[in-house]
């Protein structure tokens, strides 16, 4: 099974965690949506990390080997940051955690962005807005929105409410933004319903053996 056979799973309520969830076991078999260069482009498109026009431009200017190399670097970044998150989920980050983030800061230092004044008509009346615009100069620039998402996760989410799904075989993580922070599953459609069915079958079995 690969990324072409199912859409990306975007249930984490935090883009940085959605990136960590780009490898998962949604049914019975593990799926890695960024197993290669084309998979990376597809995932970035589905997740809205990179404008489609920029993706097409990078595809046209890059060799398959270059894209595969960037995908490999993205996977390395994903697994490194997964360890960081899993060690710290369920508690607030503390000052000493910053030392572990140096590789991410080094990657962020390679980003090429600049401000641009654009027209904003979302509120009905026209107004000007200053937006960050990224220069998509090479395949390596695909790593920059990923690094930004991981940085925003670190700076904007309370790790106390970063959780791992309670599904027995599930590897997905999410930010619990629910009232009371009682969320247990990555998704009711994925693991929540499985848990309900398993509990129902257990009750029936217990009743039959009573």
Q: Which residue has the higher pLDDT, 199 or 93?
A: 93
Q: Is 115 left (phi over 0), alpha (psi -120 to 50) or beta?
A: beta
> Is the separation of the CB atoms in 155 and 169 below 8 Å?
no
Q: Is residue 51's pLDDT more than 60?
A: yes
Burial class for 25, CB neighbours closer than 10 Å (0-12, 13-18, 19+): middle
Q: Taking the domains of the chain in order of start, what are their residue ranges?
A: 3-209
Average pLDDT for 169-183:
93
Q: Give the DSSP per-residue string, 149-200.
A: HHHHHHHHS-GGGEEE---TT---EEE--STTS---SS-IIIIIHHHHHHHH
What is the rounded average pLDDT for all residues in the chain? 89
Average pLDDT for 163-192:
89
pLDDT in tens, 90-117: 999 999 999 999 999 999 999 999 999 9
Angle at the Cα of 74 from the Cα atoms of 90 and 148, rounded to 5 degrees: 60
pTM for the structure as a whole: 0.85
pLDDT in tens, 19-38: 999 998 866 778 899 999 99
What does the block give as tokens for 191?
A: 């693991």
> Is the separation of the CB atoms in 170 and 191 below 8 Å?
yes
> Is the separation of the CB atoms in 133 and 116 below 8 Å?
yes
- To the question of domain 3-209 being in CATH 1.20.1530.20, the answer is no
């Amino acid at each position: 099974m690969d990324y072409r056979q199912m859409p990306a799973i975007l249930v984490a309520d935090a883009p940085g965690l959605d990136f960590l969830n780009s490898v998962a076991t949604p049914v019975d078999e593990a799926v890695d949506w960024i197993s290669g260069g084309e998979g990376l482009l597809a995932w970035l498109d589905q997740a809205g990390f990179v404008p489609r026009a920029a993706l097409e431009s990078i595809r046209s200017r890059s060799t398959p080997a270059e894209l595969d190399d960037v995908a490999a670097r993205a996977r390395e970044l994903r697994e490194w940051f997964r360890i960081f998150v899993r060690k710290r989920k369920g508690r607030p980050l503390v000052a000493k955690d910053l030392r572990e983030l140096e590789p991410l800061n080094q990657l962020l230092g390679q980003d090429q962005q600049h401000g641009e004044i654009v027209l904003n008509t979302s509120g009905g009346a026209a107004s000007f807005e200053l937006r960050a615009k990224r220069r998509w100069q090479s395949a390596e620039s695909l790593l920059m929105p990923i690094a930004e998402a991981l940085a925003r996760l670190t700076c904007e989410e309370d790790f106390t409410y970063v959780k791992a799904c309670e599904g027995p075989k599930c590897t997905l993580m999410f930010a619990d933004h629910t009232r009371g922070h009682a969320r247990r599953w990555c998704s009711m459609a994925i693991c929540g319903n499985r848990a309900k069915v398993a509990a129902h079958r257990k009750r029936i079995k217990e009743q039959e053996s009573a």
